[in-house]
Structure formats: C-alpha cells, structure tokens
Amino acid sequence: MVEKINSCIQQYNYNTINCVKNSVSCSNEQKQILSPSFCANTQASNIVAPQQKVTLRTELSGKDEKNKYTTILSKLDRNGRKITEKLLKSGVLLNAESNDGSTVLDNLYKIVTEPRAEGLNAGVLLKDTVATIAYPYIITQQFGDIPKEYRQRVIDANTEGQTNLLSIYNNTKDINVEHSGTCVAASTEFKLAKQQPAEFARFAQELSSPKMSVEKTIRFDNLTDNTLNAIWLLNAFEVPYQTNNFRGAKLKFAPDKNAIIRAQIQTTNKDPWERTPLDVLMQSTFMQVGSQQSYNTLTDKRAGKFNQNDKGLIEFEKTFTESVVFDKNILSVTYQTVDENARLVGYETDLSTTKRHLIEALDEGESVILGYTEIDANNVVVNGHEITVVGYKTDSKGKVTFICNDTDDNISKPIEYSEDYLLPKIHHAALPQHIVEKDLQVVPNWVEGIDMYKQMRQCA
C-alpha cells in the first residue's frame, strides 16, 4: 500500500527540495559579520531593485517611545547600540508594517522587559533580532552540535513513549543533524526580516515569549479564489485558526514542541556559523506550517500528507507557507519540465521570459524565493535548493547578474549568479500573478494541491 501511495504522489511531485549542499569555507574577513564597516561594505549597494515605498519615521515621538529606546540601548553593547541608532535614522526602528500595527521598537522593548520562554535569554534574543533586521544575510540554516550536557535530554525527548529497541536506536542517531532541510523556512525568515522588519520583530517577540506562538490575521482571497477552498487549505495544513468572517481568519503559528530544546542549546552553546536561537524558532515555525504540523526540530525530519520524503518542503507546501506568512497571493510558477523519472526534458517558456519575470518582480520591490535543481549527466534531477533573489545588475553588454542570498553557503553576504548559470537551473519561483499571466497559463498551486490530495485518497 505504501508503494502504491508513493507512486501516486510521484505523478505530482517529482522531487522534494532537500537542501543538502556542500558547505563553503569563508575568509576571516567574511566572519566579521557584525562589524559596522563590514556591513557598510557588503550591504545592498550592488542591488538595484528598489525598496517598497513606505512612510519613514526617523524621530522618536513622546516619552513612551523615548523610554523604550533608552531601555533597549541600555541592554546592548556598543556595537549593538550603533546598529540600533542606524535603524532609527533609516526609519526601520519605527516601521509599523506589522499585522497588529506594532513597531520594531515596540517588539524589541517587549523582548527585554517581558518574560521569555524557559531557558531563553532576553539579551541574546535582543542582540540577534537587532542584528538580523539590520543585516538579514547573517541568517543561516546550519544546525549546531548537541553538547554532552544536553545529549541525554535530547535522546529522551526524541524517544519518548517508544518501546521498540530498533526505533530507539535509530532515533538516537537521528539527532545528529549534519545537513539541514530548512532552506525554504530559512529563506522565508530572510525575506520576512528584509521586507517586513516590524512583522519579523513581532514574530521574534511572540515566538520567544512563554506562549511560544504568534497570531496573524490573513485574508482568504490571498490564499484561494473563494472562502471554502481557503478553509480547505487551512484544514489540510492543520494550522489552528479562528474565522473572523467570510473574508479572513486569525491563524496561530508555533514551533514544534522540541524547538525549545534546540533554542536553549544555541543560547548557551552557539558556535560560529550555527543558527541563533531566533533562527531555530523561526525556521521550526515555518517548517511546522508547511509540513502540516509534523516537523521535529531534533531530527530535522517531517511527516505530513503531501510529501513522501522526510526532509524539506515541496513546492506546494512552500507556496502555502509563504502565502500565509506574508498574507499575500503567491503564485508559484514552474519553469522546468520534468518527467515521471525526475528527468529534466525542457522548459515551460524560454529563458529570456523567465529573466523578464524575475526582473519585473524585483523592480516592484519583491524578493523572489525560488527553487533550483542540480542534474546529473543524464539530466536526472539529483538535488534541489531554495534561495532568494534580492536584486540584479546589468553590464554594458546587457548581460544580467542576479544578486541572491543563500542560507546554506556559510557566506554572510549577497552572492552573485550570472543569468547563464542561474536561469537554466530554476525549477520554480514565487511571483506576482500579473507578471506571469500574460505569458503563461499557470494553474494556482492550491488547485494542484487539492487535485494531488484527491489522487492520494484514491490511491489509498
């Protein structure tokens, strides 16, 4: 029966994005990621995509904001204070583009004045949140090792309730995560920090609070074409929600129950190039959303009804996650044609059209999360990975170089890919519908998801 179900899934899902890549060694210069001079040299000076237009406020208003600002500065070291001052002068600190209207300042203040979840440190979370908002390229998906003093606790948590000795043995080994499958979640975290700093700060504050969850109100028409289909999606992904009316719902996002252990470990035992406690909470939450609440941070594995692989998120799951996190109608466009044997056999459109789609989205201020593939000598897809395109530049001959962020390369700054290298590798990209619809007839991803679920039910 399992083989039959997997065979049916294969008709719709040729490949799961696994995010297994070789790490890249970095120079000592690249390791100075929080140095102001490094940030000034490596921030988006090469990125030509304009930022979204928002009303900037760069001066504190009233005693309340001044008190919050003073309190936050008192909890930071010299470098942190300088970064926070720059966030104020740039308009980021008082940005209020969040789901509840709170500012970055409001949420940073709550981090240091209200209780945090057990084992989490308010000072560490404040520093990490400030640094990530100021320079999102420091986000990584690299798991840390498990120190000796935590190991038995982790084993006990991962084998809780099990009696089969073989299962206990395997689950004991599974806690040593060498290659992370959280590229979709880490890319979502990066995009949230880069494009919506106030919402990112709100997520950071709520997820690290004792309740370890964040509520977000979304519109149904940012998910599907009608209310019933939107509710079907929410039920299928098992996201807790309350309907406000026929137009939207209040969703509850939370990390998996084991995320707190990983976050506690990273609070006291974070090594260079490993995830921060904030990265752990964010990525676990987004993995939970996409995997139908089936993720386990201790093993970086998931279950769920839409994916036969236990690592990463597939395109359908990634699109749903991005749609609800950003409360935006995300259209996932598939550019590569892959047959039932996972062999790349062609493209849905010419590469110049793909390039135009990316550039138009970037010109509108959108960062584009896309999935690319790696193929062998027989054009069979052997791996996939998600990255974020944040801008581009054009040389004198009209050739485009795309500016990208990769959360799995151990390089805490933008990287560049020529159009000749990147475009043929793109399997799918999340784009505004109006950019694509004049060139391609794209079936919304949720429609394909519903069809896939029906086929799976028939197979079962």
In angstroms, the CA 293 to CA 8 distance is 23
pLDDT at res. 359: 98
**How far apart are the two ends of the chain, measured CA to CA in Å?**
7
Which region holds residue 414: left if phi is over 0, alpha if psi is between -120 and 50, else beta?
A: beta
Buried b (16+ CB within 10 A) or exposed e, 419-456: beebbbbbbbbbbbeebbeeebebebbbebbbebbeeb
The single residue listed with the structure tokens 């940005």 is 95
Q: Which CATH architecture has domain 2-20+326-459?
A: Alpha-Beta Complex (3.90)
Q: List residues bridging with 375 in a β-sheet.
A: 381
* CA-to-CA dists, residue 88 to 51, 93, 107, 135, 165, angstroms: 17, 5, 14, 14, 56
Cβ atoms of 373 and 384 closer than 8 Å: yes
Predicted pLDDT of residue 25: 36
The domain locations on the chain are: 2-20+326-459, 46-142+178-325
Res 16: pLDDT: 34
| Residue closest to 253 by CA, chosen among 300, 215, 198 | 215
Cβ-based neighbour number of residue 136 at 10 Å: 23
User: What pLDDT shows up at residue 4?
Assistant: 33
- Report mean pLDDT in 10-residue bins for the chain, 460 residues: 34 35 37 31 39 75 97 98 98 98 98 98 98 98 95 94 83 90 97 98 98 97 90 94 92 98 97 96 98 97 91 93 94 94 96 97 96 96 96 96 96 96 97 90 78 70
pLDDT at 457: 67
Which residues, other chains included, contact 169 with Cβ-Cβ below 8 Å and sequence gap of 6+? none
Nearest CA to 19 among 407, 333, 423? 407
Q: The whole model's pTM is what?
A: 0.88
Sheet order of strands, 381-394 included: 331-334, 426-431, 368-375, 381-394, 400-405, 415-418
Structure tokens at 410: 């151990």
